[in-house]
Amino acid sequence: MKVTVVGAGAVGASCAEYIAIKNFASEVVVLDIKEGFAEGKAMDLMQTASLNGFDTKITGVTNDYSKTAGSDVAIITSGIPRKPGMTREELIGINAGIVKTVSSNLIEHSPNVILIVVSNPMDTMTYLVHKTTDLPKNRIIGMGGALDSARFKYRLAEALEAPISDVDGMVIGGHSDTGMVPLTAHATRNSIKVSEFLSEDRLAQVSEDTKVGGATLTKLLGTSAWYAPGAAVSSMVQAIACDQKKMFPCSAFLEGEYGLNDICIGVPVLLGKNGIEKIVKIDLADAEKAKMKESAEGVRKTNSLLAL
């Protein structure tokens, strides 16, 4: 399995590191536009190989897409991150142009590639790739829900005073401060609904903390997060590489599922060797359906800013 990571910044390097440490890919190519930057990150990461015990070969290149040829999976992390006080949607002006060029270059050299879009505003960037390339919909996947669900589980464990491994839960909807839909009614501790242990108010707080998870970290760090985003991407790539048919909420192109059409937004999917193998339909409560509808309206508003 050959994986390309475009963008050798904070998130791109974290993706490359976790993919290598998990040791399922033979090769990771990191590409950046900044002269020598990807080469430096790749060399630094390779010098952890004997310490961390992996055999994945990581190489870095400056904007040379011929080195990415034959990639099975490519991850797009190129673009600017937000600063404290900004929304993800404000990044569209610069990132749309970058994502459009990068996806077209990747596909030119790897026509069978599965693309994972990370750059923000992620649902809109995923939609942009759908609209501007010929890739089938199962091979264009937006990463947001896997990360948001990990943050949801972190906040649930905190509220429950439980180990995170006791907790399960999922976040669907748009990857934005207001658009995420944490499925609190479905979340469990050891198969028991968390509502048995937590008050409605505490659950509402968990939900709110989850939704502003990225903004909270951006305020603390001065730029957005990278460890959990890299870990989330690496788990998705592993599910594809090892044909796991594992369920993650991902931004997928919808044609009627969840009552939505012509939009990329977070829904549960099964990831395997073909990318999105299936969009999983679950019964939502009326309140969750209403939140999903509102979330879709927010994503559509951002999509309307694209010059398509």
Ligand X SMILES: O=C([O-])CC(=O)C(=O)O
How far apart CA 145 and CA 141 sit, in angstroms, is: 11
| 295 touches ligand X by CB under 6 A | no
Q: Which positions from 106 through 135 interact with ligand NAI, judged by CB under 6 A? A: 118-120, 122
What burial letters (b/e) apply to 67-90, b meaning 16+ CB within 10 Å? bbeebbbbbbbbbbbbeeeebbbb
* Residue 138 partner contact from ligand NAI, ligand X, none using kind-dependent CB cut-offs of 5 to 8 Å: none
Give the contact letters, 165-204, x = binds to ligand X (CB under 6 A), - = no.
----------x-----------------------------
| 91 touches ligand NAI by CB under 6 A | yes
How far apart CA 126 and CA 120 sit, in angstroms, is: 9
Q: Are 169 and 157 in contact (CB under 8 A)?
A: no
Q: CA geometry: angle at 198 spanning 282 and 247, to 5°?
A: 30
| 120 touches ligand X by CB under 6 A | yes
Catalytic residue among 109, 130, 175, 186: 175
Q: Active site includes 175?
A: yes
Q: 75 vs 194, which CB is nearer to ligand NAI?
A: 75
- The H-or-E segment that residue 52 falls in is helix 49-52
How far apart CA 23 and CA 237 sit, in angstroms, is: 11
Give the contact letters, 139-168, x = binds to ligand NAI (CB under 6 A), - = no.
----xx--x---------------------
How far apart CA 271 and CA 273 sit, in angstroms, is: 7
Choose among 105, 107, 121, 99: nearest CA to 214. Answer: 121
Q: 113 vs 194, which CB is nearer to ligand NAI?
A: 113
What residues form the annotated binding site?
7-12, 32, 82, 88, 95, 118-120, 151
Binding residues for ligand NAI, rule: CB under 6 A, are 6-12, 31-34, 37, 77-82, 91, 95, 98, 101-102, 118-120, 122, 143-144, 147, 175, 223-226, 229
